[in-house]
Chains A and B, each alone.
Chain A
Amino acid sequence: MGTEEKILVIVPAYNEEGSVGKVVEEVHIHLPQAEVLVVNDGSTDLTSEIAKSKGAIVLNLPFNLGIGGAMQTGYQYAYEKGYDIAIQVDGDGQHDPKEIGKLLKGLAEKKIDIAIGSRFIVDSGYKSSVMRRVGISVFSKVISTIARQKITDPTSGFRAASRKAIQIFATEYPQDYPEPEALVLLHQCQLKIGEVPVAMSERYSGESSITKIRSIYYMVKVLLAIFVDCFKKPPLLEQER
């Protein structure tokens, strides 16, 4: 690779004071060359202060935008500041910073634009509710069909993105529950998608933001959005240098 690449780890966090500090610390341990950006999505607790005290760059959104808006802000920062690779790691601690190396390796070796950390390529012992598994498998089928390649874990928010993907996400990023839709967007822009097996640990603290009834609502909403996306034109991007 020659020169050192600029890597940014984006950690979206909404009221994650119990876990965000640990996430930041661990990223610093396992990936000392990367900067950590915590996007504080209008938290009402000490998320911002804790993240800052652990040495992260903190972006404070004035109010809660939802995960999509927060992630996009991170990508906009990465784009503006000229980062080559952006890695998404959840602030709730379900993504293990130890595994980031695998994502980076996958991104470089497979020459892809986004490396998704998948829980399902090899059995990682990931347990979840029936609802969730059904949802994931439906999305997996839909996204695999659209992208014409097998995507086992389209809902995983543990990803590494190339400069090209960063640029696209900075311009356009789906809103709530954005992960599957973001892949459709990349596919339309003819970027390469790949998956890397990772292990995911239990959440350090907090509740999943997706409860039962809401998960049905999100399923319908995201499927509708994906359906509409298929008829959209990809965003026009200015050529870089």
Chain B
Amino acid sequence: MLIKVQIIVGVLSIILLLITFELIRKKRLREEYAILWLFTGIVVLVFSLWPAFFLSQFFVKMTGIFYLSAVVLIAFFFLLLIVFHFSVVISKLTGQNKDLAQQYALLELEFKEWKKRYLPPSSTPS
């Protein structure tokens, strides 16, 4: 029973790591966003490779959770972190996007006025 869980979790985490690595290599994922994913993969992999610690009475007593639930909980925690990180990033991007649009509009108007002032009207087909 345990070995099954171990294999499934282990394979999944390796796939996750490979995909993340591949995406970074192809520059489809920036490192700063990949770090949390890599971390998640590594932690879950460790779980599947060394289950002994998490099976020990000590750990169970400490936390009150069993192996599989521990894996799920840890994975969930990291996903939560990742989603939160995304919310922060999106907020920042939204702000920068707004600033860019505003600067663009102001510059465009300025540019048009300069063009009107310094180019003879005959040479500016509208």
A joins B in a complex: yes
CA distance A58 to B101 in the complex (A): 15
B106 located at the interface, meaning its Cβ lies under 8 Å from any Cβ of chain A in the complex = yes
B101 touches A59 (CB 8 A): no
CA distance A139 to B110 in the complex (A): 38
B98 touches A59 (CB 8 A): no
Number of interface residues of A (CB under 8 A): 16
Of the listed stretches A22-30, A68-76, A98-106, chain B binds A68-76
> Which residues in chain A, 44-100, are within 8 Å of chain B measured between CB atoms?
57-63, 65, 69, 72-73, 76-77, 80
**Residue in contact with B98 in the complex, picked from A57, A60, A65, A77, CB distance below 8 Å:** A65
Q: Please give the distance in Å from A212's CB to the nearest CB on chain B.
A: 26
Q: How many A-B residue pairs have CB under 8 A?
A: 35
B101 touches A62 (CB 8 A): yes
Q: Please give the distance in Å from B89's CB to the nearest CB on chain A.
A: 18
Interface of B is mostly: helix
CA distance A65 to B105 in the complex (A): 12
CA distance A5 to B98 in the complex (A): 30
CA distance A57 to B106 in the complex (A): 11
Residues on B with C-beta less than 8 A from A58 are: 109
Q: Please give the distance in Å from B110's CB to the nearest CB on chain A.
A: 9
B104 located at the interface, meaning its Cβ lies under 8 Å from any Cβ of chain A in the complex = yes
Residues on A with C-beta less than 8 A from B108 are: 59-60
CA distance A179 to B42 in the complex (A): 49
B56 located at the interface, meaning its Cβ lies under 8 Å from any Cβ of chain A in the complex = no
A61 touches B101 (CB 8 A): yes
> Which residues in chain B, 53-94, are within 8 Å of chain A measured between CB atoms?
none
Residues on B with C-beta less than 8 A from A59 are: 105-106, 108-109
B102 located at the interface, meaning its Cβ lies under 8 Å from any Cβ of chain A in the complex = yes
Residues on A with C-beta less than 8 A from B101 are: 61-63, 65, 69, 73
- C-beta contact mask, A124-157 vs B, less than 8 Å → 1, else 0? 0000000000000000000000000000000000
**Residue in contact with B109 in the complex, picked from A57, A62, A63, CB distance below 8 Å:** A57
**The 8 A-B residue pairs with the shortest CB-CB distance in the complex, in nearest-first order:** A73-B102, A59-B105, A61-B105, A69-B98, A62-B101, A61-B101, A59-B109, A62-B104
Beyond A63-B101, A65-B98, A77-B109, 4 additional contacts (C-beta under 8 Å) are A59-B109, A61-B104, A61-B105, A62-B105
